[in-house]
Structure formats: C-alpha cells, structure tokens
Structure 1
C-alpha cells in the first residue's frame, strides 16, 4: 500500500512538473511575425507547414506525399486525442488524413500539416518558402492558405 501511494505521488509530481505536456499536435493556435503575419503553431509554439505537392482536401480527400526521407526532414503533425483550435482559428477547417503507416495526420484548410526538423522551438520558422521533395513548404495562415 505504501509503495502504491509513493508511486501515485511521484506520478503527480511528474505531471505537475510539466515533464509531460501531452501531445503537442492536439491543439492549434496562432503566432504572429512581422515577416509572415499570423500563422499556425502547435500548443508549444512550434511552426506548422503545408506542402504544395500534397493533395489538398478540395474537393476530394487530402493525401500526404511526404514519406521516408521527406518525413524525416518534415515530420507530420500526428493527430492526438480530440484535436482543437484556439482563438482566431476555425474548427471547421481542422481535420485529419490517414497516412500510409496508419497514423492520422492533422490537416487544416484541407492541407496535411508538418513540422520542419530544423526549427528550434517557438518563433523559429526556418522552413517557410523552401523548395524540397518536389514542392514548396509554407507556413499556414489562419484561413488555411499559405502565409505570406
């Protein structure tokens, strides 16, 4: 009984410490920059990107065309739990698409969403405008289109 109480207390301390913040991809919010205007980020402030070579969900279903080496450089934003959006975003633009590995990737405005592996935390958006893997990478505006 004492070891169970100690275990529960340690788990409580671990959760309260912020060591477990939950899935970063479960909540989308916006960030603002002078260069790019408003753009989507996850709950931890990491920039989110769309890939112009992907199939946008308009009118058919979305499809990711970023796999293998592409997905190493541009990790997909995997849907966790019940994804939600913050202020200035539209819940009706939020969705998910099944990847070929069976995971569910978040979409916004019909575009599958990605991180850029070279971004280094909140405020870092080094992938905007890069051309790689057969398309262009862009930050995502709150309307679901390419940011400026």
Structure 2
C-alpha cells in the first residue's frame, strides 16, 4: 500500500491559500473595482472587496485611526494588512493610502478608514458585506473618494 504524504502537503497548502486574505501582504495594493449594484468601490489586488466599519474612528490630521473591531468581530471581518507601504492600483488615490498599527501588524487605511475583508465574500467581486449592521455599527464598501458606498 502506497502512502501519499505529498498530496496531503498540497492540500494543506491550498487550505493556507484559502485563508490568505487575512494574512499580511508585501506592499498590499488597493485598486478600484465596479459593480452594477454598488458602482465603484475599493478592492485588493485580487479583486476582493474592502470595507469600512462605522464604529472605527477615522484618522484625521495628527489623530490616528482607532479600531473598534475586536475578537469575534475580527473573525468575521479580517483586517487588510500590509508588510510594506500600501500601493495604489487601478484608479485608487495613493495620497489616501496609509496604515495604522493593529495587533503588531500594519493595517491598511484609505482616507483614514481602516480596511477589512468580509468572510462571506468567497470570490473576487463578491460584496455580501455591504450595508450590514454587525458588532454595533454598519459596514460599507469604500468609494474611490474614501467614503462609504451608497448602492
């Protein structure tokens, strides 16, 4: 009987890739995506939607962003981390990009808002987290201007 440890290793690697959005990315890229329902909104380099949490405090002037999403909240809304300076991709405004320290990592901000993924978004272009109230406040896609999307 043959054993197949390499198949198990490959499957384990695929599982790690599936969890990749919650992991820090070298020089994370923010770009603009578009849907008929929501118009233009921010996404990562792979097209995965990015969200703001209205309970967070937006960075303004010398004041840093304050992250209010904790524990179970972070399980449903994984932070968008970067290991390098975030980069502006297609139609994103580089001047609006920044970072804030969160749990020893650098979380990407846009127009002062910390950015998150939503665990129920399974593929690029999914926007299931838009206009949801969870953990005490609303979650929204982010426009290229850095405000909450309306659609």
Global fold match (TM > 0.5): yes
Offset of residue 71 of structure 1: 0.2
Q: Deviations over 1:62-82 (max 9, x none)?
A: 011111100000000012223
2:113 is equivalent to residue 85 of structure 1: no
Partner of 2:77: 74
- Stretches of structure 2 that go unaligned for 5 or more consecutive residues are 1-19
Partner of 1:119: 121
Q: CA RMSD in A?
A: 1.8
Give the number of aligned pairs: 127
Alpha-carbon distance change, 107 to 127 in structure 1, aligned in 2, over 3 angstroms: same
The TM-score, its normalising length taken from structure 1, stands at: 0.81
Offset of residue 87 of structure 1: 2.8
Task: Point out the structure with max Rg over C-alpha.
Answer: 1
Q: Using the alignment, how far apart are the partners of 2:56 and 2:78 within structure 1?
A: 14
- Structure 1's consecutive aligned runs of 4 or more residues displaced over 6 angstroms after TM superposition are none
- Stretches of structure 1 that go unaligned for 5 or more consecutive residues are 1-19
The TM-score, its normalising length taken from structure 2, stands at: 0.79
Equivalent positions of 1:41-80 (< 5 A) are 41-59=43-61, 60-80=63-83
Q: Using the alignment, how far apart are the partners of 2:26 and 2:84 within structure 1?
A: 11
Instruction: Assess if the C-alpha contact under 8 Å between 2:96 and 2:111 holds in 1.
Output: yes
2:96 is equivalent to residue 96 of structure 1: no
Q: Using the alignment, how far apart are the partners of 1:67 and 1:96 within structure 2?
A: 18
Instruction: Assess if the C-alpha contact under 8 Å between 1:50 and 1:113 holds in 2.
Output: yes
